Structure formats: C-alpha cells, structure tokens
Structure 1
Amino acid sequence: MTRVLVCRWDPYILDVLRAEGAEVALLFDAFEAAHFHVDESVLATLQHVFRINSFDDMDELAQIVTELRVAGWTPDRVVSLSEFSQYGAAFLAQSFGLDGPALETALLTRDKRAMKQAVRAAGVRCTDFVSLRTTDPAAGARRTAQTLGFPVVVKPAAGLGTLGTAWIHTEDALERHLRDVSDDGLDHFLMAERPVLGEELHVDAIWVEGTCRWLGVMRYRKPRIAVTTAGEGNGSALLPREEWADLYAQVEQMHTDVNRALHVRDGITHLELFVEEGTGELVFSEIASRFAGGGITPTYRAFGDDLRVAWIKTVVAPDAPAPYAAEVPQDYVGWVNLAPAEAGVIVAEPTQQDIDAFDYVVETVRPHGVGDEFSDPHPSAWCLHLIYRADSLEQFEDRGRELEQALNPLFAVESAEPGTH
C-alpha cells in the first residue's frame, strides 16, 4: 500500500487517494484552517493529521518528520497541492530520503526570476525581465526603463497566477508601484517583464520518472493579463491533438527542455507560453509544479478522469496505464468562469435550469455559491465554471460570450459588512 504525505487541505484529492487505496497523512496550515471548510469527519479517515502554522516553518516540519518516524510511518511519496507548500513539501521529501520533490526544483518553479534564468540557459526562448527590490524603487524603475522600456508587466517574483500583477506604462508609475508594495517596511522582490503580443496557451502534463504520461494544450480565451474581471473572457479551450499536431510537437519539445532545466521528473505541471504575434514562435512564460486552477482540470472529465485524478493514479501506482489513451477529443472542450461583477455576499446565481437552456454545456462546477462571500472579482476569483463543447475555436468563443451575456446578469450580491445581510 502506497503511503502519501499530502501538503494542503483538499478534500477532493483526499477522496481520490483513499479511493485508490493509499494510506494518507495530511498537513494543513493556519490559513487553510481559517479560510477553508475543513471537515473533521474526513480528517478522521486519515492515518495522521498535522495542523501547522506555516509550510515555511522548518522547525515545525522537522518535528513532524520526527513524529512520523517515531510512529513508524514513512511516506513513499510527498505531494504539494498548492503554490505555497512547495518548499515545505521538498523539505519533507528530502528529510525522508525521497527523490522528490527537490528543494532545487521548488526554488526554480517558485521564483520566476530563477526559473527564467535556468530556462534561458537551456536554450528556451522566454520573456526578458528585470529583477526588482522594493528597497530602492528609483533604481529599479530606472534600470527597467534602460533595459526593457515601457510598457512592462510587473509581478511578484514568487506570486500566484495574476495576483499582484500589473501593467506599468512609465518609469514614474513603476517607482510609485514599488513604493506602494513596500508600505509594510519589508523587502519585497518583484520582476518586470517585456510583454509578448500574441495568443497565450497553457500546457497541463503528468510526468513519471521523466516520461510524459499525458500532455494537453489549451488556448486561453484572452491572455491572462488582459482579463480584467472574473466573469469576462475567462476560460480556455483544449486543442485537439490531431488538428494541432505541429503545435503539439513544438510544445512537447519546449516542455522537455524546460523540465530538464528545472529538474522536473515527476508530478503534474502547469506551463504557460505565448505564440508570438507575427512570427508564430513559442515564447516560454512560466511553469508551476502543481495542478492548474479554474475549470482546467474538470475539463478533462468530458472524456475521462479529471486531470487531478489521472495524476493521483500515477502517484499511487506509477505503472498505471496512461490516461485518456482511448478518448482523444476531436472537438473543442473547455471552460468559462462566470461571476458577479462586484464583491459581496452572493445572494443569487444562475440556476441549473438556467444553464440547461444551453445544450452544449456538459458540466456545472460551483467553487462558490449563494451564501458565500465573493471578496474580489479579480481574474483568479473562481465562482461558476461551465464546461462546454464547440466544433471550432470560433464557435467556442461565440458560445463563451453567449454564456457570459445570458448568465452573468443572474448573479446578485449584497454588502458583506456586518448587519447588512
């Protein structure tokens, strides 16, 4: 029986692991305990459960290593389910003498500056960047102007998705932005990138001992930086491999080179790249050593397992058959995120009857619903995912707009201030 040490509360993954016959130990941190709905009945089914302050607290993690050794429970695999548990998972794996995840891989996939340095050294074309520190905003802004010019995309060096990402158009604006970020008095690290014009793709893949077990290429409806609110233009379509064979071949070669540069051999990855306007060349953007968010992994349920399930099966049984071998989509399957236009407590949303009026929708996924607080309608605020089909990319986009126009107005929110609902 495979023993798996899981970093992060995720009831879906825990259910899958138990269904696959794994023994599970779980770590989750104070943030998750405060903001997620941790189900004590689920915790009772696990071999070991640890509530910790932070995945970055090495002293806490070291004590857990000792506790598990005393209990005679040594994991076969350590898996990180979030961006912010990557270093902790690597520390735990190294402490137990496992091959991975490795600390070096955590560094290279968490810090986008280190990532781009390593990828560029491997011969992969990627976006130019300047490293920034908030301790000297004027110098950073000046160096960006001299090296990249404007506009630039500025993001946290170790951020998540598009959170904290901004378009900056002048040197003065960049200096102000850096001063705003540093208003807590701490030293923060960011990066400015030269933007790439063109279509943005994401690639989701499963790896076992350096071998790709599955790879899917999806096209965002809009480049992520161009999505300004949660419920408009927010989604992506899976490109059929047969129709896009040349693109898949190029992407697979890029991904192989990226993995070699970042020492990625096992697990699930989410890579983003651009198809440059005019040249058609692929330009690497970034990669995460975790599964994707939004409606990306549920899209795969249209022709088999959720991509997370396919990955977990390889965690428990690395020799398991490759996923989706008999079910390659010939049409365009993808997702759209619908959401309120403003923050507040959700008091009304599209019903399933409303959604059923669109016969091309194959599944409804509700990360949030009536009664939940929708705190900020930024591009990564997931509310209602609709998985749907189309015969072409043009039809996929048309249907996405149709769903937005018909269903987004059915959301209603009320102020989340005390005493208002």
Structure 2
Amino acid sequence: MENASPPSILIVGLDRYGMRACVRLGLEITVVCGGRSWDDGQVAVSPEVRVLLVDDHTNPEAVLMALDRAGLTDRAFDAVYTTDENALVMVGILARHLGLPAVPPEVAVRFRDKAVQKREIRAAGLPTAGVRVVDDVHDVTGITELGFERAVLKPIAGAATRRTSVVTSVAELRACSAAYRAEGTAQRTFVLEEFINGEEWFADGVLFDGELLFCSLSRYGDPCLTAVDTARPLHYRLFDPVTEAWAYDRALPLVTAALEALGHRDGTFHMELFHDPATGALTFGECGARRGGGLTQELVHTKFNVDLAECAILVALGRRPQLDIKLRPEAVGGSHLLAGPGLLYDCPSATDVLALPGVEFVRMEWPVGGRTPQGGGTAQRVGQFMVVADSGERLQERFTAVWDWFDARVKVVPDGLKTRELRELQHVLRPEARFGDALWQ
C-alpha cells in the first residue's frame, strides 16, 4: 500500500545509535526522556524524533501520563525499546500494557536483581559467585559474618560499578554502611558477592527467537574494581575470533547456557565472565539484557561491521537482522580519559585526541567549566577513545601514549583551595598570562 504509515517505535531514554538506526530505517520515532538526561545535553536529537519530556523515564506513571498528555494513549506503536539499564523492567511492563513484544518483566527482573540472577544461574548448574542479600545497607548490625573470605558489596540493581567495593571483614562492611547512611543513599538493598579472582571478560551479542546470531568477546586490561580503586583509566580490547579462537571456544558454551537459563531470547546482551588463566575455567559474573555501555557499539562495529543498535531495533520490530560480518584484522580497544576531582578548567578537544596515532574515535563527555564526575564507578570519566593497532602489544602502547599525552594537558582546579593557592595555580593554568601585584616603576 503506497500511503501506508511507517512503523512507529517508542524509545525510552536517549540512545544516540538507537535513534540513528530508527531514522535510517524510516521509522516514526517517539522518545520519552527524563529531565536529568535531557539537561545533560550530550546526546543530539535529530528533527525526525518526537521527544516527550518527563520527570523520570524509568517511572511507568510518568511515561503513561506523558503519552496521555500527547494524545498517544491509543497510539498503536509497533515496538517499544530501551537501552537504559534502569528502565528494563519498566519497559517490560509498559510493553505488556501496550500489547507489544519486549523482554518480559519477569525476565527483565532476572537481569536487574543480582541475587535472583545468580540463583537462576546456579539452578542451571553453571559456575557463579555465592551471594548474600543485605536488606538495608544503612543498618548491617544483624550481620555477624560475611560468609566469604572476600566479598564485593554492591547495589542489588546497580550499574557501572557505582557504590561497589571489596570488603574483607564485618568491620569493613560496617564502615561502608556508616558512610552510605551518612550520605543518605537512596539505594538501600545491596548484595555481598563472593570475590572471584581472574581476568574479566565480557561478551556482547544479538539474539533472535532464542538463536545467538552474533557474539563478540572482549577483556579488560585491569579488572574494573582495580581500575576504579587505583584511579587508572579503564581499558579493554576485543578478542579476534581467528587468531584467538580459543577464547571463543571456551566462552560461547557458558554464554549460551547462561542466556538460556535466564530466559533471554530476543535482543542484545552484555555478559561479564571471570577467566582463570591457570586452569582455563570460566565463571559467570553478571549479565544485562541490553547493549553494552562504554564504546561497545563503536568497537564492535569497527571490528565486525555489526551495528548492535540497529540489530536491537530490528529485533524489537520482530525482524531478523541480516548480518554482513566483515572482520577487521587489527587489534581494537577502548579506554577512558580521566581528570582529577574539581572544576574542569581546560582539556584537549576530541579533534586534538583524534589526531594521535591509532585513535579512530573520541567522545568528550564532560564540558569545560563543569565539575568533574563524582561518585566513583566506571562512569567517572571526562571522555572515551578507541584505538586500533597491528598487535595487542602495540595497542597497549597506544593506550599509554594517549593517557600520558592527555594527562599533561588537562587542567583542573581542585576543590577546597584557599585564595592564595588559587592565585598560585593561575601560573600553572595560564603560564602565558601575568598575574600578581606588580610594583609601579
């Protein structure tokens, strides 16, 4: 039919690559966006996209009221989609209300609640860490032993390693509890997970009707917690499926079994694993029923010619993605650009970083004039970059070169300085300028 309307999709939260895919596919696009994400201003929105602003796009009440105000209550959307970790369960509920296919809410819960997730993995006979629920992290007086020699304390439905720490005693647990209570954290339900040693691997892929259509495998240079605790930039690289086929042979059986155990059949996923180099054993870490964060989209597209966002949109529409995999032989990796705590006075631009050897993509995420990201976790960064090299060793050299170059040029005004100290800092921030009390001759 020549005048048939294009398919219509409801996107919850801003997703630059998801929106781009929808525009390319000729869809009619409605995006529901919370005020905090909108105010951030980092994700550009094309004129083809209709935006509905709400207080909180993870809240079903806010989303349904926005749709009603816009006269879209009876709108027959063809799909609903999100890549926002915090909106997964809500989107499952919303999709069921609208009569649309999506990850069911009971399945989405398995990908949000870390205790439930590991229960399902253990029930399937797969290796994973032990876990204990902390009902209220503000009050742990009832806990007299950790249950593990070392444990990782984290929110039961957290993301990006925020408020994640290693504890080795009840005293350390109580110290964390006191800090969170003083801070007045909104997140109260936490878990204590058994600490697993080993390299951290992660898998990113696409499922359609229960079939694994594609999977890439990567590893962190340093474990996430090590990078956060030592203030080192997080960095990671993709395994090559030809020269490092052993890694895929080892990981894919656990990946597919874990996805089946959790009931994920359609969409993208990001799964973390622990690898013991001494034995070759793999242990399930955790998994999200959405596209991986960081530069996952860019790295996978560069290495494999697979657009994960477009795949996710097609699956949401009930269409099977037709992949055209073109393997790039070079080593491909990504990393963070960091700055110390304080006011970001100046830093290199994306164009400046992109001019460095091997750098093929840069995203500067924090504006000059703002205070650098606080609160810890892998989101504590001012930018990200992707590098390509002819070997893993050369890739690491390029990571180091970019970090050193950036560190020498980023300028931060630390918080808490006295006026005299600020005057002295001016000579560092602007060495070409003259400041001070000059005597008249």
What interval of TM-score do these two structures reach, taking the shorter chain for normalisation?
0.7 to 0.9
Query: Any idea what the Cα deviations from partners look like across 1:28-77, whole Å, max 9, x if unmatched?
Result: 123323434576x74x5335x43222345343344456678866422222
Alignment of 1:61-140 (within 5 A): 61-63=63-65, 72-134=74-136, 136-140=139-143
Report if the CA contact (8 A) 1:331-1:391 is conserved: yes
Q: Which moved more, 1:224-233 or 1:236-245?
A: 224-233
How far off is 1:353 after superposition?
4.5
Report if the CA contact (8 A) 1:230-1:378 is conserved: no
Query: Any idea what the Cα deviations from partners look like across 1:263-288, whole Å, max 9, x if unmatched?
Result: 21111111111102532211111111
Q: Secondary structure at the match of 1:335?
A: strand
Aligned pairs, number: 410
Q: Which moved more, 1:242-251 or 1:118-127?
A: 242-251
Q: Which moved more, 1:99-108 or 1:223-232?
A: 223-232
Tell me the distance in 1 between the aligned counterparts of 2:83 and 2:109. Answer: 16
1:16 maps to 2:21: yes
1:299 maps to 2:302: no
Report if the CA contact (8 A) 1:235-1:335 is conserved: yes
Are the structure 2 counterparts of residues 354 and 271 from structure 1 closer, same or farther at C-alpha, using a change threshold of 3 Å?
Answer: closer
Are the structure 2 counterparts of residues 76 and 250 from structure 1 closer, same or farther at C-alpha, using a change threshold of 3 Å?
Answer: farther
Report if the CA contact (8 A) 2:10-2:29 is conserved: yes
Tell me the distance in 1 between the aligned counterparts of 2:314 and 2:415. Answer: 41
Are the structure 2 counterparts of residues 102 and 416 from structure 1 closer, same or farther at C-alpha, using a change threshold of 3 Å?
Answer: farther
Other-structure match for 2:365: 367
Other-structure match for 2:433: none
Query: Any idea what the Cα deviations from partners look like across 1:238-277, whole Å, max 9, x if unmatched?
Result: 1001122232133222122222222211111111111025
Instruction: For 2:249, give the aligned amino acid.
Output: A
Other-structure match for 2:437: none
How far off is 1:223 after superposition?
0.8
Report if the CA contact (8 A) 1:272-1:284 is conserved: yes
Q: Which moved more, 1:55-64 or 1:337-346?
A: 55-64
Q: Which moved more, 1:21-30 or 1:379-388?
A: 379-388
Query: Any idea what the Cα deviations from partners look like across 1:166-221, whole Å, max 9, x if unmatched?
Result: 12122111122123323439781111112111110111111122122221001111
Q: Secondary structure at the match of 1:6?
A: strand
Are the structure 2 counterparts of residues 53 and 352 from structure 1 closer, same or farther at C-alpha, using a change threshold of 3 Å?
Answer: closer
- Which one has the largest radius of gyration? 2
Tell me the distance in 2 between the aligned counterparts of 1:159 and 1:185. Answer: 12
Other-structure match for 2:434: none
Alignment of 1:340-379 (within 5 A): 340-349=339-348, 352-353=351-352, 355-358=354-357, 360-376=358-374, 378-379=377-378
Alignment of 1:222-241 (within 5 A): 222-228=222-228, 232-241=232-241
Tell me the distance in 2 between the aligned counterparts of 1:290 and 1:186. Answer: 24
Report if the CA contact (8 A) 1:206-1:266 is conserved: yes
How far off is 1:295 after superposition?
2.1
Question: Structure 2: where are the runs of 5+ without partners?
Answer: 1-5, 427-441
Q: Secondary structure at the match of 1:85?
A: helix
Report if the CA contact (8 A) 1:155-1:164 is conserved: yes
Instruction: For 1:281, give the aligned amino acid.
Output: A
Question: Structure 1: where are the runs of 5+ without partners?
Answer: none
Report if the CA contact (8 A) 2:350-2:362 is conserved: no
TM-score w.r.t. the length of structure 1 is 0.87
Are the structure 2 counterparts of residues 286 and 235 from structure 1 closer, same or farther at C-alpha, using a change threshold of 3 Å?
Answer: same
Measured on the aligned residues, the alpha-carbon RMSD in Å equals 2.9
Report if the CA contact (8 A) 1:231-1:337 is conserved: no
Query: Any idea what the Cα deviations from partners look like across 1:371-421, whole Å, max 9, x if unmatched?
Result: 45422274322423221123333332233223222322211123589x999
Report if the CA contact (8 A) 1:339-1:382 is conserved: yes
Are the structure 2 counterparts of residues 309 and 416 from structure 1 closer, same or farther at C-alpha, using a change threshold of 3 Å?
Answer: farther
Tell me the distance in 1 between the aligned counterparts of 2:391 and 2:238. Answer: 11
Residue of structure 1 aligned with 2:10, choices 5, 10, 30: 5
Other-structure match for 1:45: 48
Other-structure match for 1:203: 203
Instruction: For 1:162, give the aligned amino acid.
Output: T
Percent identical residues: 19
